Amino acid sequence: MSSNRGVAYIEPGVVEVQDIDYPTFELRDGPGVNPANVGRKVPHGAILKVVTSNICGSDQHMVRGRTTAPPNLILGHEITGEIVETGPDVEFHSVGDLVSVPFNISCGRCKNCKERKTGICLNVNPDRPGSAYGYVDMGGWVGGQSEYVLVPYADWNLLRFPDKDQAMEKILDLTMLSDIFPTGYHGAVTAGVGVGSTVYIAGAGPVGLAAAAGAQLLGAAVVIVGDLNKDRLAQARSFGCETVDVSLGDPKDQIEQLLGVPEVDCAVDAVGFEARGHGHGSSTEAPATVLNSLMDITAAGGALGIPGLYVTGDPGGVDEAAQKGSLSLDLGTGWAKSLAFTTGQCPVMKYNRELMMAILHDKVQIAKAVNATPISLDQAPESYREFDSGVARKYVIDPHGMVGARAS
């Protein structure tokens, strides 16, 4: 088997499906591949037939031209697949296994991996800690919005589903384990959500909705989701969240109407660096708005989970500082209120197994919460455009028709 196709970033606003190389157990040169990784042998890897690969809001940052992603970069870091070939060093996985792939690529051997900090592995990206499939400046590992993909360190990285038939019945839920469900859950955990908490989540995109579902799973008493998009706010209400329309102004007044006080115990930033102002300024990009707002509305001694993406290079930033990822934060407020902050990639492997068990035993319906919508590989370009317009959907690419066949 030698053919393969994948979704490639071409230029701002444009992606296309291309014929691409079938993966081998060696990292080859290509768009975005770090020169130091070219020729890297991967005997510890597995080649997967991709069952699902989701379109992520982080992908949209690249597709909008808000990063330094090169043309023809193959996208996709949210991958679920079936093993079709293993390298000679793979011991514990077999051809035919159905597996979830954490979006973090990690080696399992370095100091950070051994401390469960798999989002900042020291060995997979020559430029800096941390790596991911199909993402700018992340080492050049080819993305999984494709028919077939290579996964390195397979014994370490892959999460096998215990029953293949059961997993396929719940595949639209289980596909969320590669990124957005653990990422949203991580935001809630690091914000300190627990039984009886009141929590505000900024952003009703898929990660924000996943954070809301995660907060409910953790026992929050009230989960409030804020956004500008009325359809996405309606999606949040569909599974029991309260909502705040930030186009009407600062969320503090609306939170007080809901809770009787203008603050919450903890908060999650699921928006990131393309944040917009609140109220009449909601059409203007203001990248520090969400972080400063969350510091204002979080009670003293609380915490902020920040799974929203912030970058060090943004060609479309509103000013020179923002183009370097330097934002004007009201850190004095955060200091005065003794607020804790947690940023960075979610270490998916810290959470994916327990969240898998919650899905398999019907403790959470994450696909319903994020409105998972299967599409074919050829529908990906149009779905990117629709997602960018703000539709309340999480697009799930089904390159081999395995999800559609199951649903029919």
100 and 245 in a single domain? The answer is no
397 and 369 part of one domain = yes
Alpha-carbon distance of 19 to 120, in angstroms, equals: 31
Question: How many distinct structural domains can be found in the chain?
Answer: 2
Are residues 308 and 288 part of one domain? yes
Three-state DSSP class for residue 124:
coil
Give the DSSP per-residue string, 189-205.
HHTT--TT-EEEEE--S
What's the token pair of residue 13? 């606003």
Co-location of 336 and 355 in the same domain: no
Q: The domain that contains 355 carries what CATH number?
A: 3.90.180.10
Predicted confidence at residue 277, as pLDDT, reads: 80
CA-based nearest residue to 330, from 369, 265, 286? 286
The answer on 376 and 358 residing in a single domain is yes
Does pLDDT of 322 surpass 90?
no
> Both ends of the chain: CA-CA distance in Å?
27
Q: Hunting for tokens 């289980």 — which residue is that? A: 174
Model confidence over 190-209: pLDDT tens digits?
Answer: 999 999 999 999 999 999 99
Q: What are phi and psi of 40, to 5 degrees?
A: -65, 125
DSSP state of 153: S
The domain boundary residue, chosen from 288, 316, 342: 342
Provide the residue range defining the domain that includes 42: 5-179+347-407
Residues 272 and 174 both lie in one domain: no
Same-domain status, 217 and 327: yes
Return the pLDDT at 189.
98
User: Considering 317, 342, 367, which residue would you say is the last residue of a domain?
Assistant: 342
Q: Which residue has the higher pLDDT, 163 or 317?
A: 163
Over residues 51-79, the pLDDT tens digits come to 999 999 889 989 998 888 999 999 999 99
Do 291 and 279 share a domain, yes or no?
yes
Give CA–CA dist 216/220, Å, rounded.
Answer: 5
Q: Are residues 257 and 328 in the same domain?
A: yes
Same domain, 123 and 140: yes
Picking from 318, 342, 366, the residue at the C-terminal end of a domain is 342
Judge if 372 and 327 occupy the same domain: no
Is 50 exceeded by the pLDDT of residue 408?
A: no
pLDDT at 1: 54
CA pair distance 234, 254, nearest whole angstrom = 16
pLDDT of residue 406: 57
In our burial notation (b when 16+ CB lie closer than 10 A, e otherwise), range 146-156 reads bbbbbbbbbbb
Check if the beta carbon of residue 406 is closer than 8 Å to that of residue 398. Answer: no
Is residue 220 within 8 Å of residue 198, measured between CB atoms?
yes
Tell whether 149 and 232 lie within a shared domain.
no
Residue 284: give its domain's CATH number: 3.40.50.720
Does residue 112 register a pLDDT over 50?
yes
26-54 residue pLDDT tens: 999 999 888 999 999 999 999 999 999 99
Nearest to 60 by CA among 306, 389, 322: 389
DSSP label of 56: -
